[in-house]
Amino acid sequence: MDENYLIIDQSTSATKLLLVKNGKILKRLDKKHEQYYPTEGWVEHDPLEIWQNFEHLFHKLLNEEGLEPKDIQSISITNQRETIIAWDKITGKPVCNALVWQDNRSSQICQNLIRLGLQEKIHEKTGLLLDPYFSGTKIKWLFDNVLEVGELSKSGNLALGTVDSWIIWKMTQGKMFVTEPSNACRTLLYNIHTNEWDQELLNIFGPNREDLPQIHSSSDFFGTYHGIPIKGVMADSQAASVGENAVAKGDIKITLGTGCSILMMTGNIHQVNNQEILTTIVNSEKNVTNYALEGIIRSCADSINWFNDSIAHFDDIIEQCNQIIKGEHQEILFIPGLVGIAAPFWNNTATGAFLNLRRNSTRDDLLYAILESIIFQVKMVLDKLEQASGLSIRSIRVDGGVANNKALMQKLSNLLGKDLYLSEVEELSALGALAVVTGVPFQQEYHHVISKYDDAELKRYFKWKNKMQEEFE
């Protein structure tokens, strides 16, 4: 693989552009984009800012490395999932800001559809649940509340897509309106069993078939940008599984980022009758589709960032987390409902809380409770995945920024009673998107965390679990 490859990693918080050669990351550039919170529960991004940030990074990287477009073999894309963008096919301009996966404005729509008895049908077809986390309910909100969306749809000029579709549209100057299964399957519009947009689902949520992108395989050709082929497109969580080489049945991949996605590979098994967890497509190539069970945690690093930005104001929050987890603290419990609760309760109106506060409780005690809530949520979801799948866990691989806290990962290993393998590479989603093009998995080095029984931590977990069940079951 003696060629130069570029990978766009379009995450919730930033655009990252990576230059890879001989299986190694030679350069990475980052540019953050603004997070907009117009009102409580709403989260938006500016699609034009995202596009402009990529263009800026592309030209900057080529200039700094002395490269020309002809020196680049291909560009791959991995992206935040579920975030939806509506734009005009004629002008190429967004109708409004992107509705981010964290956005809860469609909560009432979900409740209305559940009352109509549609939950089971939608879960059966999509593997997902009626929750504002997913794109379909956001799309219905747009049709119900943004007049231009309906008008453009009637004229055949509406484009609705996840972030990958938007970036590819812009890169190809509107020549390619496409996506692929790992992104499409997160929209509530895609039938994961037939691998196509489902007309019955489109009727529920509002769009016409022409409003949606064509489906390509992840490794297909997606057009060109400055003459560079665009190949290898995957949603970030599934791409991280490929990057981790966690693709065998029973493999677990945990990504501890802003939120948390826990995937259990199930191979060709896609009929799981359990509405506490999700079924999702990992990838689909040459008529072979690989599936996974998934548990979603809404607040992971997001809880840490909220606490520091709004309350604690530590000078170095990362170092503070690393130090605090090694000490002893009050038995405060944190209910992580800052943006609702996902798996296994799926309560999007849930709110957060600290329990067992005392007069002498400190910000260190509260931060410790937040860190514990992260590993407690992981255990709760993993237990559900094992129960629903009937599979034994083959291995657990962990990535994401929170995984850099080795003391916290030791506590997680102890709590689960299972060894963990922590990737030493941060950019696994990006490398996974490239791996589907080259067909060559990246050789990873892992930090092996050996589980040690911790009765005290287990008791604290059950206290926390009981409180969660009392509140949300």
The pLDDT, as a whole number, for residue 53 is 96
Q: Are 318 and 291 in contact (CB under 8 A)?
A: no
What is the average pLDDT across 154-174?
97
Number of domains in the chain: 1
pLDDT above 60: residue 1: no
Quick one: pLDDT at residue 443? 67
pLDDT digits (tens, 9 = 90+) for 293-341: 999 898 899 999 999 999 999 999 999 999 989 888 999 999 999 888 9
Three-state DSSP class for residue 63: helix
If residue 423 lies in a helix (H) or strand (E), which one and from where to where? strand 420-423
Structure token pair of residue 245? 């080489």
What local confidence, expressed as pLDDT, does residue 243 receive?
Answer: 87
Give 114's pLDDT tier (boundaries 50, 70, 90). very high
66-75, 110-119, 207-216, 393-402: range with lowest mean pLDDT: 393-402
* Beta strand spans in 286-419 (E): 288-297, 333-335, 353-355, 395-399
| Burial category of 455 from C-beta neighbours within 10 Å (exposed 0-12, middle 13-18, buried 19 and up) | exposed
pLDDT tens-digit series, residues 379-422: 999 999 988 888 878 779 998 889 999 999 999 999 999 999 99
Is 328 among the domain residues?
no
Q: Is the pLDDT of residue 271 over 70?
A: no
- Residue, of 288 and 303, whose pLDDT is higher: 303
pLDDT of residue 115: 95
Closest CA to 300 of 340, 333, 256, 354: 256
Confidence of residue 270 (pLDDT cuts 50, 70, 90): low
Structure letter (DSSP) for residue 441: P
Q: What is the pLDDT of residue 12?
A: 87
**Per-residue pLDDT tens digits for 191-229:** 999 999 999 999 999 999 999 999 999 999 999 999 999
What pLDDT, on the 0 to 100 scale, is given for residue 272?
67
165 neighbors 84 (Cβ within 8 angstroms): no
pLDDT (0 to 100) of residue 441 = 67
Helix (H) or strand (E) holding 377, with range, is helix 363-389
Least confident of 12-26, 411-425, 430-444: 430-444
Angle (deg, nearest 10), helices 363-389 and 455-472: 80
Closest CA to 131 of 253, 334, 301, 295: 295
Beta bridge partners of 87: 94, 159
Neighbour count for residue 470 (Cβ, 10 Å): 8
DSSP 309-363: IIII--S-HHHHHHHHTTS-----EEE--BTBB-TTT-BTT---EEES--TT--H
User: Whose structure tokens read 């065998």?
Assistant: 248
pLDDT digits (tens, 9 = 90+) for 331-370: 999 999 988 898 899 888 889 999 999 999 999 999 999 9
Residue 233 vs residue 275, higher pLDDT: 233
Establish whether the linkage from the previous residue to 344 is cis, with ω within 30° of 0. Answer: yes
Mean pLDDT for all residues in the chain:
91
CA pair distance 291, 182, nearest whole angstrom: 10
pLDDT > 70 fraction of the chain, expressed in percent and rounded = 98
User: What CATH number is attached to the domain comprising 113?
Assistant: 3.30.420.40
Any domain includes 300: no
Instruction: Report which of 86, 89, 203, 66 is spatially closest to residue 156, judged by C-alpha positions.
Output: 89
**Token pair of 122 as six digits:** 């939608």
Whether 273 is in a domain gets the answer no
Instruction: Please state which of the ranges 233-242, 426-435, 440-449, 454-463 shows the lowest mean pLDDT.
Output: 440-449
* pLDDT score for 387: 87
Q: Which range, of 146-150, 280-284, 354-358, 365-369, averages the lowest pLDDT?
A: 280-284
Exposure string of 100-117, with b = 16+ CB inside 10 Å and e = fewer, is bbbbbbbbebbeebeeee
Predicted confidence (pLDDT) at residue 440 exceeds the cutoff of 80: no
152 in a structural domain: yes
Read off the pTM: 0.87
Establish if 401 belongs to a structural domain. Answer: no
Is the model's pLDDT at 3 over the cut of 80? yes
Other CB atoms within 10 Å distance of the CB of residue 419: 12
Query: Is 100 within the bounds of a domain?
Result: yes
For residue 289, pLDDT over 70 is answered with yes
- For residue 67, is it within any domain? yes
- Domain with 213, as residue range(s), is 4-236
266 inside domain: no
Q: Which of 127-131, 161-165, 245-249 shows the lowest per-residue confidence on average (mean pLDDT)?
A: 245-249
- CA–CA distance, 8 with 6 (Å, rounded to integer): 7
The pairing of beta strand 420-423 with beta strand 353-355: unpaired
Query: What pLDDT, on a 0 to 100 scale, did the predictor assign at position 207?
Result: 96
